[in-house]
Amino acid sequence: MNKLIYQTAPRVTLATNHFVNVPIILQYDETPLISIVREQQLGFTTEIPIFHQDGTYLAKVNGTRVYPTEAGKKAGIAMRNPKDMTVCEMDGKTLFEIYHEKGDAFRAQAELYTPTGFFVKSTDSPMPQVINTDGNALQIGGMVMSGNMFSGCRIGIWLKSDGSCSLGCN
Protein backbone atom coordinates (compact mmCIF):
# COMPACT_ATOMS: atom_id res chain seq x y z
CA MET A 1 0.00 0.00 0.00
CA ASN A 2 1.32 3.47 -0.89
CA LYS A 3 1.38 6.06 1.85
CA LEU A 4 1.18 9.80 1.71
CA ILE A 5 3.25 11.37 4.49
CA TYR A 6 2.75 14.95 5.61
CA GLN A 7 5.55 16.61 7.54
CA THR A 8 4.42 19.61 9.54
CA ALA A 9 7.61 20.04 11.59
CA PRO A 10 11.22 19.95 10.44
CA ARG A 11 13.31 16.86 11.20
CA VAL A 12 17.10 17.13 11.46
CA THR A 13 19.55 14.31 12.08
CA LEU A 14 22.80 15.13 13.86
CA ALA A 15 25.22 12.29 14.69
CA THR A 16 22.46 9.62 14.49
CA ASN A 17 20.13 11.62 16.79
CA HIS A 18 16.87 13.04 15.43
CA PHE A 19 15.40 16.44 16.27
CA VAL A 20 11.75 17.13 15.45
CA ASN A 21 10.22 20.55 16.02
CA VAL A 22 13.35 21.71 17.87
CA PRO A 23 14.26 25.29 16.85
CA ILE A 24 17.86 25.14 18.17
CA ILE A 25 19.59 21.84 17.52
CA LEU A 26 22.98 22.77 18.99
CA GLN A 27 23.88 25.76 21.14
CA TYR A 28 27.13 26.81 22.82
CA ASP A 29 26.62 29.10 25.82
CA GLU A 30 24.23 31.74 24.44
CA THR A 31 25.10 31.23 20.74
CA PRO A 32 22.99 28.89 18.60
CA LEU A 33 25.33 26.91 16.31
CA ILE A 34 22.66 24.95 14.41
CA SER A 35 19.14 26.38 14.25
CA ILE A 36 15.98 25.72 12.29
CA VAL A 37 14.37 28.79 10.76
CA ARG A 38 11.26 29.25 8.67
CA GLU A 39 11.58 31.01 5.33
CA GLN A 40 8.52 31.86 3.29
CA GLN A 41 9.69 30.36 0.00
CA LEU A 42 11.52 27.35 1.45
CA GLY A 43 9.53 26.39 4.52
CA PHE A 44 11.96 25.16 7.16
CA THR A 45 15.73 25.24 6.71
CA THR A 46 18.88 25.31 8.80
CA GLU A 47 20.84 28.36 9.88
CA ILE A 48 24.47 27.94 10.94
CA PRO A 49 26.94 30.71 11.83
CA ILE A 50 30.52 30.02 10.74
CA PHE A 51 33.17 31.42 13.08
CA HIS A 52 36.95 31.42 12.66
CA GLN A 53 38.93 29.92 15.53
CA ASP A 54 39.77 33.47 16.65
CA GLY A 55 36.01 34.15 17.03
CA THR A 56 35.55 36.20 13.85
CA TYR A 57 32.06 35.73 12.41
CA LEU A 58 32.85 34.70 8.80
CA ALA A 59 29.56 33.63 7.24
CA LYS A 60 25.99 32.56 7.79
CA VAL A 61 24.68 29.40 6.17
CA ASN A 62 20.96 29.27 5.37
CA GLY A 63 20.02 25.89 3.95
CA THR A 64 22.29 25.35 0.96
CA ARG A 65 23.39 28.97 0.66
CA VAL A 66 26.43 30.55 2.28
CA TYR A 67 26.39 34.31 2.95
CA PRO A 68 29.81 35.80 3.81
CA THR A 69 29.93 38.61 6.36
CA GLU A 70 32.06 41.69 5.73
CA ALA A 71 34.69 40.19 8.05
CA GLY A 72 34.50 36.96 6.06
CA LYS A 73 35.04 38.81 2.78
CA LYS A 74 38.06 40.59 4.27
CA ALA A 75 39.40 37.23 5.54
CA GLY A 76 39.17 35.88 1.99
CA ILE A 77 36.55 33.16 2.27
CA ALA A 78 35.59 31.78 -1.12
CA MET A 79 32.84 29.54 -2.46
CA ARG A 80 33.19 26.71 -4.95
CA ASN A 81 30.30 24.86 -6.52
CA PRO A 82 31.34 21.41 -7.72
CA LYS A 83 28.52 19.10 -8.90
CA ASP A 84 25.79 18.84 -6.25
CA MET A 85 27.89 20.69 -3.65
CA THR A 86 28.64 24.07 -2.15
CA VAL A 87 32.09 24.41 -0.58
CA CYS A 88 33.21 27.32 1.59
CA GLU A 89 37.00 27.69 1.89
CA MET A 90 39.51 30.04 3.47
CA ASP A 91 43.25 29.95 2.77
CA GLY A 92 42.80 26.66 0.88
CA LYS A 93 41.14 24.98 3.89
CA THR A 94 37.56 23.73 3.68
CA LEU A 95 35.37 25.31 6.36
CA PHE A 96 32.00 24.00 5.28
CA GLU A 97 30.58 21.57 2.71
CA ILE A 98 26.94 21.24 1.74
CA TYR A 99 25.91 18.19 -0.28
CA HIS A 100 22.74 18.72 -2.30
CA GLU A 101 20.58 15.60 -2.29
CA LYS A 102 17.25 14.65 -3.88
CA GLY A 103 14.36 17.04 -3.41
CA ASP A 104 14.90 19.63 -0.69
CA ALA A 105 17.23 17.39 1.29
CA PHE A 106 20.85 18.27 1.92
CA ARG A 107 23.67 17.15 4.15
CA ALA A 108 26.32 19.42 5.66
CA GLN A 109 29.78 18.86 7.04
CA ALA A 110 31.59 21.60 8.92
CA GLU A 111 34.24 22.49 11.41
CA LEU A 112 32.26 24.61 13.84
CA TYR A 113 34.00 27.10 16.07
CA THR A 114 32.31 29.11 18.79
CA PRO A 115 32.69 32.89 19.12
CA THR A 116 35.22 32.22 21.91
CA GLY A 117 37.39 29.94 19.76
CA PHE A 118 36.29 26.53 21.01
CA PHE A 119 36.01 23.83 18.36
CA VAL A 120 32.81 21.77 18.48
CA LYS A 121 33.21 18.34 16.95
CA SER A 122 30.51 15.78 16.31
CA THR A 123 30.81 12.62 14.24
CA ASP A 124 28.65 9.60 13.54
CA SER A 125 29.88 8.15 16.84
CA PRO A 126 27.87 10.71 18.77
CA MET A 127 29.98 11.96 21.66
CA PRO A 128 30.06 15.75 21.30
CA GLN A 129 33.37 17.33 22.13
CA VAL A 130 34.43 20.90 22.76
CA ILE A 131 38.09 21.55 22.03
CA ASN A 132 39.80 24.75 23.19
CA THR A 133 42.27 26.82 21.18
CA ASP A 134 45.20 24.85 22.62
CA GLY A 135 43.73 21.61 21.24
CA ASN A 136 42.71 20.28 24.64
CA ALA A 137 39.30 18.63 24.87
CA LEU A 138 36.81 19.57 27.55
CA GLN A 139 34.89 16.52 28.74
CA ILE A 140 31.18 16.95 28.03
CA GLY A 141 29.38 14.39 30.13
CA GLY A 142 30.22 10.70 30.11
CA MET A 143 27.38 9.28 28.06
CA VAL A 144 27.12 8.27 24.44
CA MET A 145 23.94 9.38 22.67
CA SER A 146 22.89 7.32 19.67
CA GLY A 147 19.59 7.08 17.81
CA ASN A 148 17.67 9.34 20.20
CA MET A 149 14.60 11.41 19.35
CA PHE A 150 14.31 14.97 20.66
CA SER A 151 10.89 16.46 20.05
CA GLY A 152 9.23 19.75 20.94
CA CYS A 153 11.98 21.25 23.10
CA ARG A 154 13.55 24.68 22.50
CA ILE A 155 17.22 23.52 22.56
CA GLY A 156 18.27 19.97 21.72
CA ILE A 157 21.92 19.99 22.87
CA TRP A 158 23.26 22.90 24.93
CA LEU A 159 27.03 22.81 25.42
CA LYS A 160 28.51 25.23 27.91
CA SER A 161 31.99 26.64 28.35
CA ASP A 162 32.13 25.28 31.90
CA GLY A 163 32.11 21.76 30.45
CA SER A 164 28.48 20.97 31.18
CA CYS A 165 25.90 19.75 28.70
CA SER A 166 22.12 19.98 28.89
CA LEU A 167 19.74 17.98 26.70
CA GLY A 168 16.17 18.72 25.67
CA CYS A 169 15.93 22.20 27.24
CA ASN A 170 12.90 24.48 27.29
In a domain? residue 60: yes
pLDDT for 100 beyond 90? no
102 located within any domain: no
Q: What is the pLDDT of residue 136?
A: 60
Of the listed ranges 33-37, 97-101, 154-158, the one predicted with least confidence: 97-101
Examine residue 54 and state whether it is found in any structural domain, yes or no. Answer: yes
Confidence of residue 23 (pLDDT cuts 50, 70, 90): very high
Residue 29 lies in a domain: yes
Domain that holds residue 154: 17-68+111-169
Question: If pLDDT is split at 50, 70 and 90, which confidence band does 68 have?
Answer: very high
Whole-number Å distance between alpha carbons of 31 and 98: 22
Total domains present in the chain: 1
Give pLDDT, residue 5: 45
Quote the CA–CA distance of 100 and 8 in Å, as a whole number: 22
Mean pLDDT of the chain: 79
